[in-house]
């Protein structure tokens, strides 16, 4: 039972990560490969907060403050990285964010106060299913509202054509930075929840491979679709666990299977399962209703 | 005081020699990156994996009793053929889908080779058989080994070969034409698909040679060995100006020397961070690289 609880919590954490990355990659069209870095920043700062400086308050308040701290620090890191990097385009941006993600990890590895390469132990288990899914709801509501509002139109116009958006008077740099900071901030929240779920974090949790897996989630679901990101996150969190039932060999080939899925998706359906469409369960139930 | 200064001087020379060795490896791998990018504007993330495949082909050749002088060309041809197959099956169908899908596919291929390699060969590092006599020479307080001489000379020979190939042969002329303007080259009767395959072959063969040399020098090979050198070679290619062949060599050497100097004189634990820091600084201040020319995007 504990195992299923843990798995459901991990699903929630990855939903937050994927929806956040979707705002940057899918909605704004800025290809970022450093999401695991922001995740790490949130995880480490919130864990450091609860372990070293937490006031004697009830656990859920400490966790909430930890999540806010994770959001703010990762958001600020997003700002620091985004302001110089977002001048770059396409694959250059991808490489620069990849570089920053790795630098964050190497810096953490060299910080002895948070355990360095040995990892950070002794984090209290404050998070539970309720708090994880409360944050999932907050993330989705906030990002869906950003996307549907004026800011969202501006952000989507940057994805469609940056030069055209700029000539229509949109401050592209401002909106790119906004999307980048909000996405990074929610990765920080996911980090805070992650560290207080697993109680142990180490720099190996946040390698470049995890950035790729989060990216794979939103590609699978469809870049630019929030529901797609949610579905992609759930599938890719459950899939490796399901593969265990087929024996050890299949489970060990998990990463090979992932990479083949990734390649085939790009060749056959590069838009992902949902494309840019949203799946609205309320509309689906009222069959034939106006969309 | 005087001996202090002379120690510093000898240390500096040693780091420079190590940097030059590592830099030639980076340069060999970076050449493939830059050639592929120059022709189809694809950042071939899987390039580091051709380096790994070359190292393993060399490993098995030498295990089966081949002399080193034969194992290296076999490894080059082998990894070249793998690259051509990958290009034919995967990259060619998605070439027109845009740059981001191509980049993601390249990432997928890179992961595929890394993890398939771990499953098939095993994740543990294998001891590379020492097929040549590795002596250490001393000149004053400067030390260097046979394998270092071998790395520097063979990369020099390969680079001269590439220079000849690109500038003085018909194939090279076709390659330059394709990278300058693919459509126009096609209209002039150049079979661009063939040229692209050939470019992949040459690039991967160079990476394979680098893999064998690294295996010989460091003594171990493992399936994940391609990832970090691959990323760093990409940094080297960007540093010199991606798409520019002499730039890749310059970038590789600069990166190798810079890395060794920082590791030697400052902090060894930050080794991998240096390359990325250099990359970001270059991208921010001179995105076209050391030898590149800046072009503004027009509508």
pLDDT digit string, tens, across residues B144-180: 888 888 899 999 999 999 999 999 999 999 999 998 8
Instruction: Look at residue B298 in the predicted model and tell me its pLDDT.
Output: 54
Q: How confident is the model at residue B142 (pLDDT cuts 50, 70, 90)?
A: confident
For residue A135, what pLDDT is reported? Answer: 93
Q: List, for residues B35-66, the tens digit of each pLDDT value.
A: 998 888 888 888 999 999 999 999 999 988 88
Q: What pTM was computed for the model?
A: 0.84
Confidence of residue A137 (pLDDT cuts 50, 70, 90): very high
Spatial distance between the Cα atoms of B88 and A259, rounded to a whole number of angstroms: 18
For residue A290, the model assigns a pLDDT of 45
Pick A203 or A278 by higher pLDDT.
A203
C-alpha–C-alpha distance, residues A289 and A283, integer Å: 7
Q: What is the pLDDT of residue B160?
A: 92
Contact assignment for B269 to A31 by CB distance below 8 Å = no
Per CB distance under 8 Å, which residues of B are interface residues toward A?
43, 90, 93-94, 97, 99-105, 107-112, 114-116, 119, 231, 234-235, 238, 267, 269-270, 272-273, 276-277, 279-280, 283-284, 287, 297, 299
The shortest C-alpha distance from A200 to chain B (Å) reads 23
Cβ partners under 8 Å of residue B12, min gap 6: B261
Of B93, B102, B111, the CB nearest to A212: B111
Nearest CA in chain B to A33: B104
Least confident of A112-121, A271-280, B156-165, B172-181: A271-280
The CA distance from A167 to B258, in Å, is 42
Inter-chain residue contact B273 with A103, CB threshold 8 Å: yes
Contact B104 A96 (CB under 8 A): no
Token code pair at residue B90: 């995967």
Q: Which of A91, A73, A72, A101 is nearest to A203 (CA)?
A: A101
Distance from CA of B230 to the nearest CA of A (A): 12
Q: Domain spanning B8-285 has what CATH number?
A: 1.10.3470
Considering only CB atoms, A96 lies closest to which of B43, B273, B283, namely B283
State the residue range of the domain holding A128. 2-207
Q: What is the mean pLDDT of chain A?
A: 86
Query: Which pair of structure tokens corresponds to residue B64?
Result: 């089966």
Of A95, A215, A260, the CB nearest to B234: A95
Residue B164, pLDDT score: 93
**Partner-chain contact A259 B115, CB within 8 Å:** yes
Structural domain tally of chain A? 1
Question: β-strand B136-139 against B126-127: which pairing, if any?
Answer: unpaired
Q: Which residue has the higher pLDDT, B295 or A225?
A: A225
Range with the largest mean pLDDT of A41-45, A268-272, A286-290, B275-279: A41-45
Q: Which pLDDT score, from 0 to 100, does residue B264 have?
A: 81
Helix residue ranges per DSSP H, chain A? 2-22, 35-48, 59-85, 90-109, 129-148, 150-160, 162-167, 172-198, 208-221, 226-244, 248-252, 254-268, 281-285
Closest CA–CA distance from residue B299 to any residue of chain A (Å) = 8
- A37: its two tokens: 């870095």
CB contact (8 A) between residue B94 and residue A85: no
Mean pLDDT for B73-80 is 94
Q: How far is B115 from chain A (nearest CA, A)?
A: 6
Helix H or strand E segment including B269: none
- Rounded to whole angstroms, the Cα distance separating A98 from A140 reads 25
Share of chain B above pLDDT 90, in %: 35
Task: Identify which of B43, B100, B277 has the shortest CB distance to residue A103.
Answer: B277
Using the predicted structure, report yes or no on whether residue A264 has a pLDDT greater than 90. Answer: no
Dump pLDDT digits (tens) for A203-262.
888 888 889 889 888 888 888 889 989 999 998 888 878 877 777 777 678 778 878 888
pLDDT the model gives residue A273: 76
Q: If DSSP codes are grouped into helix, strand and coil, which group holds residue B143?
A: strand
B25 closest CA partner among B197, B174, B152:
B152
Mean pLDDT of chain B: 86
> Is residue A266 a contact partner of residue B97, using CB atoms and an 8 Å limit?
yes
pLDDT of A281: 67
What was the pLDDT predicted at B262?
A: 85
Alpha-carbon distance A87 to nearest alpha carbon in chain B (angstroms): 8
Among all residues of chain B, which has the CA nearest to that of A263? Answer: B105
Q: A170 — phi, psi (to 5°)?
A: -85, 130
Mean pLDDT computed over B226-235? 86
> Which of B108, B114, B269 has the CB atom closest to A263's CB atom?
B108
Q: What percent of chain A has pLDDT over 70?
A: 95
Q: Is the dihedral of CA A219, A187, B284, B282 positive or negative?
A: negative
8 Å CB contact of B101 and A85? no
Contact A99, B280 (CB under 8 A): yes
- Which residue of chain B is at minimal alpha-carbon distance from A167? B299
- The answer to whether the Cβ–Cβ distance between B100 and A266 falls below 8 Å is no
Q: What was the pLDDT predicted at B101?
A: 82
Do the Cβ atoms of B104 and A98 come within 8 Å? no
Query: Bigger pLDDT: B98 or A124?
Result: A124
Q: Which residue of B has its CA nearest to A259?
A: B108
Q: Which residue of A has its CA nearest to B269?
A: A110
Average pLDDT over residues B246-265: 88
Cross-chain residue pair B101–A91, CB shorter than 8 Å:
no
% pLDDT > 70, chain B: 97
Q: In the predicted model, is pLDDT for residue A289 greater than 50? A: no
Report, as an integer, the average pLDDT of A122-127: 85
Residue among A85, A31, A56, A18 nearest A225 (CA) = A18
pLDDT of residue B156: 92
Mean pLDDT of B234-243: 84
Yes or no, beta carbons of B119 and A209 under 8 Å apart? no
Quickly list DSSP for A104-126: HHHHHHT-GGGTGGG-B------
DSSP B144: E
Q: Name the pLDDT band for B297 (thresholds 50, 70, 90).
A: low
For chain B, the structural domain boundaries read 8-285
* Window from A97-106, A143-152, A281-290, B157-166 with minimum mean pLDDT: A281-290
- Report the distance separating Cα B228 and Cα B210, nearest Å: 14
Does A78 reside within a domain? yes
pLDDT at A291 > cutoff 70: no
Residues of B in contact with A85 (CB under 8 A): 280, 283-284
Residue of A nearest to B103 (CA): A91
Residues B109-133, mean pLDDT to the nearest whole number:
85
H-assigned helices in B41-67: 47-63
- Closest CA in chain B for residue A87: B284
Identity of the residue in B43, B115, B277 whose CB atom sits nearest the CB atom of A255: B115
Distance from CA of B141 to the nearest CA of A (A): 32
Q: Which residue has the tokens 């798995």?
A: A7
Lowest mean pLDDT among A232-241, B186-195, B277-286: B277-286
- Whether the pLDDT of residue A29 is over 90: the answer is no
Contact (CB<8Å) A212/B107: yes
Chain B residues inside the 8 Å CB shell of A110: 267, 269-270
Cα separation of B124 and B117, whole Å? Answer: 11
A77-95 tens-digit pLDDT:
999 988 888 888 777 888 8
- The set of long-range contacts for B182-186, using a CB threshold of 8 Å and a minimum separation of 24, is B182/B39, B182/B40
* Displacement of CA A147 from its chain's centroid (Å): 16
CA-nearest residue to B274 within chain A is A103
**Whether the Cβ atoms of residue B245 and residue B166 lie closer than 8 Å to each other:** yes
Compare all CA atoms of chain B with the CA of A102 and give the residue at the minimum distance: B273
Task: Please tell me whether residue A223 adopts helix, strand or coil conformation.
Answer: coil
């Amino acid at each position: 039972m504990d195992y299923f609880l843990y798995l459901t919590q991990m699903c929630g954490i990855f939903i937050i990560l994927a929806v956040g990355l979707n705002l940057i990659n899918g909605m704004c069209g800025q290809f970022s490969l450093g999401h695991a870095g922001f995740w790490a920043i949130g995880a480490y700062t919130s864990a450091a907060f609860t372990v070293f400086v937490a006031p004697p308050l009830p656990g859920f308040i400490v966790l909430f403050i930890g999540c806010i701290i994770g959001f703010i620090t990762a958001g600020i890191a997003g700002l620091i990285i985004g302001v110089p990097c977002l001048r770059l385009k396409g694959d250059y941006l991808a490489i620069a964010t990849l570089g920053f993600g790795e630098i964050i990890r190497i810096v953490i590895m060299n910080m002895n106060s948070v355990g360095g390469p040995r990892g950070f132990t002794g984090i209290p288990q404050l998070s539970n299913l309720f708090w994880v899914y409360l944050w999932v709801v907050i993330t989705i509501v906030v990002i869906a509202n950003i996307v549907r509002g004026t800011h969202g139109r501006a952000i989507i116009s940057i994805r469609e054509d940056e030069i055209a958006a700029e000539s229509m008077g949109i401050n592209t740099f401002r909106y790119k930075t906004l999307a980048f900071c909000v996405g990074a901030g929610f990765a920080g929240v996911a980090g805070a929840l992650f560290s207080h779920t697993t109680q142990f974090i180490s720099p190996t949790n946040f390698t470049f491979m995890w950035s790729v897996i989060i990216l794979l989630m939103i590609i699978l679901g469809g870049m630019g679709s929030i529901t797609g990101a949610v579905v992609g996150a759930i599938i890719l969190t459950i899939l490796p666990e399901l593969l265990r039932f087929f024996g050890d060999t299949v489970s060990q080939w998990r990463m090979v299977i992932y990479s083949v899925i990734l390649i085939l998706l790009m060749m056959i359906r590069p838009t992902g399962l949902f494309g840019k469409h949203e799946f609205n369960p309320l509309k689906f139930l009222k069959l034939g209703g106006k969309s | 005081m005087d001996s202090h200064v002379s120690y510093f001087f000898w240390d500096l020379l040693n780091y420079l020699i190590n940097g030059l060795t590592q830099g030639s490896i980076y340069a060999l791998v970076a050449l493939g990156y830059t050639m592929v990018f120059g022709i189809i504007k694809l950042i071939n993330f899987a390039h580091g994996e051709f380096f790994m495949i070359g190292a393993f082909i060399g490993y098995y050749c030498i295990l089966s009793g081949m002399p080193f002088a034969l194992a290296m060309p076999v490894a080059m041809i082998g990894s070249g053929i793998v690259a051509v197959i990958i290009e034919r099956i995967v990259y060619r169908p998605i070439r027109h889908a845009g740059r981001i899908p191509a980049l993601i596919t390249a990432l997928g291929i890179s992961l595929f080779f890394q993890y398939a390699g771990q499953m098939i060969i095993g994740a543990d590092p294998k001891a590379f058989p020492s097929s040549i006599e590795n002596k250490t020479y001393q000149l004053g307080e400067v030390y260097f080994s046979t394998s270092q001489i071998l790395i520097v000379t063979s990369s020099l020979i390969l680079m001269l070969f590439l220079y000849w190939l690109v500038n003085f042969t018909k194939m090279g002329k076709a390659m330059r034409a394709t990278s300058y303007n693919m459509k126009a080259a096609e209209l002039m009767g150049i079979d661009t698909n063939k040229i692209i395959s050939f470019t992949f072959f040459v690039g991967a063969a160079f990476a394979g040679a680098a893999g064998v040399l690294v295996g010989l020098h460091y003594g171990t090979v493992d399936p994940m060995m391609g990832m970090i050198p691959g990323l760093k070679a990409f940094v080297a290619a960007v540093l010199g100006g991606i798409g520019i062949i002499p730039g890749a060599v310059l970038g590789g050497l600069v990166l190798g020397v810079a890395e060794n100097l920082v590791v030697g004189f400052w902090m060894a634990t930050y080794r991998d961070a240096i390359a990325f820091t250099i990359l970001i600084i270059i991208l921010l201040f001179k995105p076209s690289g050391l030898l590149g020319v800046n072009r503004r995007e027009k509508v």
